[in-house]
Amino acid sequence: MQTIIQIGHGLVGAFLISVALIRKFGFGEIRHTLSIIGAISILVANLYFFRSKQIIRWGSRQTWLKYHQRFASLGLSLVFIHSAIQPHTWHSWIAFLLASANLGTGMATSFTKGRIRKNILRIHSLLAPILLISVILHGSRKLDHDDFFPLAKEHDVACVKCHTSSTYETYTCLLCHVHNTREIQFAHEVHGVIPYNPQPRDLETIAECLDCHLTKINDHEYGRRRANWDYNPPIQ
């Protein structure tokens, strides 16, 4: 019963943190912050390992265990909220599955006894550092933007300014760049870029502008040139 209570504390904490931040900034703006808080919480939870091995000797082991369960529950919950339970890339799937396995084995150690508990505990102890490594790998892969489009100068904006879906596999330039002349509208209609003047619900499925337009950032060209269109419309 105590285990359920401690896990419940972590779940409530994750819920309150998420609701407060999402209401203030929006999910797209804050989802990476949630994952960072989650990773730090998991790291703090893993300090229990040093107490269990008596590397750290101060404080009772039961008190350490309670906070281990609270911080682990908080961190894993924030990781799940960050993912929106929709992992898309191989590294996000690895982090998601390891987080699920970590939570499952952690709960199982509290409801089993004897040799079974000992074996599950070994698996749980092994999964914890691997989970941290996978979260860091996932974050570094997500943030490695320079290989395909550097976030320099005016492009150093929040993710949701360009990625309006949760997959990060599509993008739009239309939330910032002006497309409001009849000449531009006609050119887009001729080449099948419809709807030209999109509603918010349309932004997830259109506007991969670099398929047709070429732009230059830090003296390096990105995109491709179709006809003779450079992509340098003014920013609103």
pLDDT at 228: 55
Nearest-angstrom CA–CA distance, 142 and 89? 10
pLDDT at 16: 94
CA torsion through residues 119, 122, 124, 127, sign: negative
Tell me the per-residue pLDDT of 13-47, one tens digit each, with 9 for 90 and over: 999 999 998 888 777 677 778 888 988 898 888 88
Q: Return the number of other C-beta atoms located less than 10 Å from residue 203's C-beta.
A: 19
Both tokens assigned to 12: 């409530």
Mean pLDDT of the residues in the chain: 76
Look at residue 205 in the predicted model and tell me its pLDDT: 47
pTM of the entire structure? 0.63
pLDDT in tens, 172-227: 776 776 666 666 767 777 766 655 555 555 554 455 677 777 777 777 777 776 65
Structure tokens at 125: 């102890």
| pLDDT computed for residue 62 by the predictor | 85
pLDDT at 57 exceeding the cut of 90: no
User: Which of 78-87, 98-107, 146-155 is least confident?
Assistant: 146-155
Domain spans of the chain, in order of start? 2-143, 153-223
